[in-house]
Amino acid sequence: MLGDIHASAVLDLFAGTGALGIEALSRGAGRVVFVERDRAAVQALRSNLEALGLAVPEAELRVGDALGALRTARGARETYDLVFVDPPYSQARELAGELSVLLPAVLAPGARVVVESDRRAPAELPLAVAQRKRYGDTTITIHHHLT
């Protein structure tokens, strides 16, 4: 669905075990920043990165809250070409408001934001929708940052 991501800077929010970001690296992304706060998920993600020999600068794990990580990235003037947003489904709708405020500051021109959420309570962002797919109860929306 994403096409070419070669050399992209990727931010994987709510990274879990890191599957999305690791896949991005395997497809040529230049760098992935993984953000996760759950202890068990962080342990699994660390193990996955170590097993694959992935480390800074291509793979960086930031332990903490996704919204806090966005604030930090904004303050550091970091930008990303691709952002994965896969929050807990029960929190997706309520997080959408804060994500809508924080995300634009870290998006490079032409960036894409991939959001996974429950189709009954989607995380709606005020970004142009490039593509939307439904898989059972899950909706994947790819947004395109136009500026």
Give the span between the Cα atoms of 81 and 108, in whole angstroms: 5
Give the span between the Cα atoms of 22 and 136, in whole angstroms: 24
For residue 90, pLDDT over 90 is answered with no
- The whole model's pTM is what? 0.95
Mean pLDDT, the chain, integer? 95
Q: What is residue 16's predicted lDDT score, i.e. its pLDDT?
A: 97
Better-scored residue on pLDDT, 94 or 14: 14
Domains of the chain are 9-144 (3.40.50.150)
Q: What is residue 2's predicted lDDT score, i.e. its pLDDT?
A: 85
Average of per-residue pLDDT across 14-41:
97
